[in-house]
């Protein structure tokens, strides 16, 4: 089944073993960046060294347009025959924003709210990083719809670390 998986770093090894994804996206702070897991093809592992901040003036290594453009470009090479695994430290913010951006990129304009609602159902802990979402919204010319959709998700269930989440593409009409 074609799906995007979202996971915290602590579950990465188990997710790689259980799902055998074809592509891997890591979103971690530069100082905590990991190497490509042993046996995984480095050319199918995108590593983005970004901090989980929503206001670029509040810290170092914020997500920028080049990061999100690279994320979208990398995801377009994924054919969906095996899962795409996305992880960050907790599996709550950066990785959920990346999954949301990729799902919006693969969908039609106007599907943003449907994607956000389904993400909330499958991941009550999801709190997509607003800066990543805003940058993706600009790159995909969604005119604020991605931001509005994430805001409409409402508050998340507060957790220190999320649980792994399956986002099957067919659920989103893709």
Q: Please, which residues have CB within 8 angstroms of residue 87's CB and are 6 or more apart in sequence?
A: 6, 7, 8, 9, 11, 12, 15, 24, 25, 26, 27, 95
* pLDDT-wise least confident of 54-58, 113-117, 126-130: 54-58
What three-state secondary structure class fits 168?
Answer: strand
Report pLDDT digits (tens) over 133-146. Answer: 999 999 999 999 99
- How would you label 14-40 residue by residue, b for 16+ Cβ within 10 Å and e otherwise? ebbeebebbbbbbbbbeeeeeeeeeeb
Backbone angles phi, psi at 106, to 5 degrees: -85, -5
Give the model's pLDDT for residue 3.
Answer: 98
Residue 78 pLDDT greater than 90, yes or no: yes
Give the model's pLDDT for residue 70.
Answer: 98
Report pLDDT digits (tens) over 99-121. Answer: 999 999 999 999 999 999 999 99
Give the model's pLDDT for residue 174.
Answer: 87
What domains can you pick out in the chain, each with its CATH number? 3-165 (3.90.190.10)
Residue 1 pLDDT greater than 90, yes or no: no
DSSP annotation of 14: H
């Amino acid at each position: 089944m074609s799906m995007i998986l979202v996971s915290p770093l602590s579950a990465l090894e188990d997710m790689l073993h259980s799902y055998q994804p074809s592509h891997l996206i890591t979103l971690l702070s530069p100082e905590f960046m990991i190497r490509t897991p042993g046996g995984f093809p480095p050319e199918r592992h995108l590593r983005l060294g970004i901090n989980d901040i929503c206001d670029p003036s509040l810290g170092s290594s914020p997500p920028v347009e080049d990061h999100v453009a690279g994320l979208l470009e990398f995801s377009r090479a994924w054919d969906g025959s095996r899962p795409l695994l996305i992880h960050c430290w907790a599996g709550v913010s950066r990785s959920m924003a990346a999954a949301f951006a990729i799902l919006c990129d693969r969908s039609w304009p106007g599907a943003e709210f449907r994607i956000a609602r389904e993400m909330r159902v499958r991941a009550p802990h999801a709190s997509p990083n607003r800066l990543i979402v805003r940058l993706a919204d600009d790159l995909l010319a969604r005119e604020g719809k991605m931001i509005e959709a994430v805001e409409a998700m409402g508050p998340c269930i507060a957790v220190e670390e999320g649980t792994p989440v399956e986002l099957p593409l067919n659920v989103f009409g893709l």
